Amino acid sequence: MPEPTFRPVTGADRDDLARFLTEHRWPFHVKPEPGPAAAAELVAGWDLDGPAAAPGGSSATARWSGC
């Protein structure tokens, strides 16, 4: 089986990220089932293209606390 490959998320991924959040349950988060508008608003606040979004950065993971 080949090794999976990953790439950093960017601002271009916002719609996909919001859709991912609404299509799954997050039972251990403050908002376990965010609706489309709430997910889009949450993702819009993430700095996906800032300096920390560069390889080795962690901007996306730092923002998950809002879920």
- φ, ψ at 56 (rounded to 5°): 90, -10
Asked if the structure places residue 3 within a domain, the reply is no
Asked if the structure places residue 28 within a domain, the reply is yes
Its domain, for residue 23, covers 11-52
Among residues 42, 43, 60, the alpha carbon closest in space to that of 51 is found at: 60
Asked if the structure places residue 6 within a domain, the reply is no
Asked if the structure places residue 48 within a domain, the reply is yes
Report the pLDDT averaged over residues 39-58.
77
Asked if the structure places residue 31 within a domain, the reply is yes
Tokens (6 digits) for 5:
């490959």
Residue reference for tokens 């809002």: 66
Asked if the structure places residue 21 within a domain, the reply is yes
pTM: 0.65
Asked if the structure places residue 39 within a domain, the reply is yes
pLDDT higher than 60, residue 53: no
User: Structural domain tally of the chain?
Assistant: 1
Report pLDDT for 54.
53
Tokens (6 digits) for 43:
């993702």
Asked if the structure places residue 15 within a domain, the reply is yes
Report the pLDDT averaged over residues 20-36.
92
Report the pLDDT averaged over residues 10-36.
93
Where is pLDDT greater, at 21 or 56?
A: 21
Helices 14-23 and 36-44: angle between axes, nearest 10 degrees? 140
DSSP state of 3: P
